[in-house]
């Protein structure tokens, strides 16, 4: 796993940390199309769209270097495992190559570790069989540190490619403390994604230094434009920001 640093990161590397998020419930098809075009312009890692918009995003981004990601069991993680697997397969059919699935939050909080691991593994197995990758959303706002650690370990055991902090719709999103805890818990085989409240360049650079390789963002244009304008010696000397809530 390549380790990124705010002190040496290039514009191209920074763009490829971003999953441009198009998950707000009120977004129209035109909003999604415009968002995909923005992601293509800035050459982000992916656009993360709702399942109903995967086909649209795949069509617009065909031939570009921007991948299509979508969500599974979003935002509460409470779907039956069979439904999550069906959702994963349908998304891959439509062109998604990365899936951000929400683990079953209530079952985790109930101590049902075997259920949670099996739920994650079913989606990972289905995705990996078809060449797609899986990010497991913990929704840290509802978990104790002990539960966050357990969730990370279950996700890795189940075959997750990333562990992710949040959906962006809980009371709070990514925090630097949570990101460091998650990075310390999983092995180098598993990457860490931040989501929820990363709206500025300083915030993005801070989460990268906490071990993040991918970050959900809606303020993509503002972040990358600021990086281009800012002298590099300034961008390397950031203070730890207070991360907010939501995408």
DSSP notation for 96-127: --EEEEEP-HHHHHTT-HHHHHHHHHHHHHHH
* Domain enclosing residue 147, as ranges: 11-235
| Residue 202 annotated to the active site | no
Q: What is the pLDDT along the chain (247 residues), one digit of tens a residue?
A: 568 999 999 999 999 999 999 999 999 999 999 999 999 999 999 999 999 999 999 999 999 999 999 999 999 999 999 999 999 999 999 999 999 999 999 999 999 999 999 999 999 999 999 999 999 999 999 999 999 999 999 999 999 999 999 999 999 999 999 999 999 999 999 999 999 999 999 999 999 999 999 999 999 999 999 999 988 654 444 445 556 544 4
The answer to whether the predicted template modeling score (pTM) of the entire model surpasses 0.95 is no
* 98 found inside a domain: yes
56 domain-assigned: yes
Catalytic-residue membership of 100: yes
| pLDDT number for residue 196 | 94
Residue-level pLDDT at 30: 98
18 in Cβ contact with 220 (< 8 Å): yes
What was the pLDDT predicted at 240?
Answer: 55
Q: CA-to-CA distance for 76 and 117, rounded, in angstroms?
A: 16
Crossing angle for the helix pair 29-42 and 220-229, nearest 10 degrees? 20
Is residue 164 situated within a structural domain?
yes
Which residue is catalytic, options 16, 135, 193, 209? 193
Residue 145 belongs to some domain of the structure: yes
Choosing from 16, 67, 84, 100, the catalytic residue is: 100
**Is 210 strand, coil or helix?**
coil
Within a domain: 223: yes
Q: What is the CATH number of the domain that holds 17?
A: 3.20.20.70
Per DSSP, 213 falls in state: S
Output the pLDDT for position 245: 45
- Which residue among the candidates 164, 178, 202, 209 is catalytic per the annotation? 164
Q: What is the C-alpha to C-alpha distance for residues 182 and 116, in angstroms, rounded to an integer?
A: 17
| Closest by Cα among 184, 187, 214, 238 to 20 | 214
Q: What is the pLDDT of residue 70?
A: 98
Q: How many domains does the chain have?
A: 1
Q: Are 168 and 135 in contact (CB under 8 A)?
A: no
Residue 247: predicted pLDDT? 44
Residue 42 lies in a domain: yes
Is position 164 annotated as part of the catalytic site? yes
Q: Note whether residue 241 is domain-resident.
A: no
Name every residue whose Cβ is closer than 8 Å to that of residue 28 and which is 6 or more positions away in sequence: none
């Amino acid at each position: 796993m390549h380790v990124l640093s705010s002190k040496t990161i290039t514009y191209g590397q920074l763009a490829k940390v971003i999953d441009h998020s198009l998950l707000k419930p009120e977004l129209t098809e035109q909003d999604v199309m415009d968002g995909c075009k923005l992601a293509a312009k800035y050459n982000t890692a992916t656009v993360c769209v709702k399942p109903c918009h995967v086909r649209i995003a795949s069509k617009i981004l065909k031939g570009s270097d921007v991948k299509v990601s979508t969500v599974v069991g979003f935002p509460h993680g409470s779907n039956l495992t069979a439904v999550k697997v069906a959702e994963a397969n349908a998304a891959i059919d439509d062109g998604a190559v990365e899936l951000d699935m929400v683990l079953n939050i209530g079952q985790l909080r109930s101590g049902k570790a075997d259920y949670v691991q099996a739920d994650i593994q079913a989606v990972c197995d289905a995705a990996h069989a078809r060449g797609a990758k899986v990010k497991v959303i913990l929704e840290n706002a509802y978990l104790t540190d002990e539960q966050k650690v357990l969730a990370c370990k279950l996700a890795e055991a189940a075959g997750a490619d990333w562990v992710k902090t949040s959906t962006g719709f809980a009371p709070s999103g990514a925090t630097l403390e949570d990101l460091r805890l998650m990075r310390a818990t999983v092995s180098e085989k598993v990457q860490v994604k931040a989501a929820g409240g990363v709206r500025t360049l300083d915030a993005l650079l801070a989460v990268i230094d906490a071990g993040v390789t991918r970050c959900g963002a809606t303020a993509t244009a503002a972040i990358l434009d600021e990086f281009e304008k800012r002298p590099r010696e300034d961008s390397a000397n950031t203070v730890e920001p207070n991360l907010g809530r939501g995408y």
